Amino acid sequence: MGPIYVQRVYDHHPARGAAFLVDRMWPRGVAKQDLRCDGWLRDVAPSTELRRWFGHRPERFAEFARRYRAELDARPEAVRPLREAAARGPVTLLYSARDTEHNQAVVLRDYLLEDRS
């Protein structure tokens, strides 16, 4: 498996390897033609209910990560494109949250790096 990076869509740095947007909603203020990505994987994002519950509150992050991992376990088909891309080389997970440490892309990266195949 290649390295997996996380990057804010607003940072405007070139993504390393295959790049996938992992937000359920398209990032505000970003035109679709301006975001270089290989796919928008809405189904790998946390459910709307979980996202709303979390509300980007750092004190809820540990519980958010636990619940999000359970959602990912229940949707292996949603994760498959990322696993396949990572088997071929580097992957960048693109997200729009302001917090670079407490977001779904961080949880998803760690989830993918674990041996769950």
40-70 burial, b at 16+ Cβ within 10 Å, e below that, comes to bbeebbbeeebbeebeeeeeebeebbebbbe
Residue in the block written with tokens 């405007």? 12
The domain locations on the chain are 4-113
Give the count of alpha carbons within 13 A of 52, CB side only: 3
Would you put residue 17 in left (φ > 0), alpha (ψ -120 to 50) or beta? left
Phi and psi at 58, nearest 5°, equal: -55, -35
Nearby residues of 58 by Cβ (< 8 Å), 6 or more positions away: 99, 101, 102
Nearby residues of 87 by Cβ (< 8 Å), 6 or more positions away: 1, 2
Helices 104-113 and 76-88, packing angle to 10 deg: 70
Q: Which pTM was predicted? A: 0.92
* pLDDT by 10s per residue, the chain, length 117: 889 999 999 987 888 899 999 999 999 999 988 888 999 999 999 999 999 999 999 999 999 999 999 999 999 999 999 999 999 999 999 999 999 999 999 999 999 999 655
